[in-house]
Amino acid sequence: ALGSRVRQNDQLALISDPLGDHEDPVRAPFDGIVIGCSRLPLAHEGLRLVRVDSLRSDSLWGVLEGHAAVLCLVGHKPESLQQGAMPPLEQPLCERATRTLVEAMADAGVERLVVLGAAGVGSSRRTGRLGLGRWLRWCLPEVMADKERQEWLVRSSGLRWTVLRPA
């Protein structure tokens, strides 16, 4: 809950993939106080969920055609890299996956993109309570740099776009 004190390694949440096949615990990297919370349910009557490899454009063939918009919820997950679940990436995931998606959208003729960004990125860098942007950049420099590059890519894509920033 917001304002709760947590100790290092306390479980903060469970994150499941959109199709509910796998859950990963999120653990506190250090002692602290919970200052933010995000709940983003993906189940919706008008939403079609598909499983793709976000780094392979061929996995998007036949998925995007005929749609007016794409909702991109790809995130950066450094803990899987530390646990050895994935090979090290040359570039963090958000930028790479979004680049693949933007290219596939151009091929499929989809012109509208909605992206889940991050607080403290882009025009929100100097906004927010308690210096959230600076704090996030200090705690998660690689993640925030990746989200900056992702947002720059979206802004310069030529698509009609919206960036959502939970805070």
pLDDT (tens digit, 9 = 90+) per residue, 42-73?
666 666 677 778 888 888 888 888 888 888 88
Question: Model pTM?
Answer: 0.63
Q: Which pLDDT value is given to residue 162? A: 92
Residue 65 main-chain phi, psi, to 5 deg: -55, 135
pLDDT of residue 61: 85
Q: How far apart are CA 121 and CA 113, in angstroms?
A: 18
Are the C-beta atoms of 133 and 120 separated by less than 8 Å?
Answer: yes
Query: Could you tell me the end-to-end alpha-carbon distance of the chain, in angstroms, rounded to an integer?
Result: 15
**Which residue numbers in the chain have pLDDT < 70?**
1-2, 16-21, 36-48, 76-91, 123-133, 135, 167
User: Tokens 């919820």 appear where?
Assistant: 73
Cα–Cα dist 95/154, whole Å: 9
Per-residue pLDDT tens digits for 110-126: 999 998 888 777 766 66
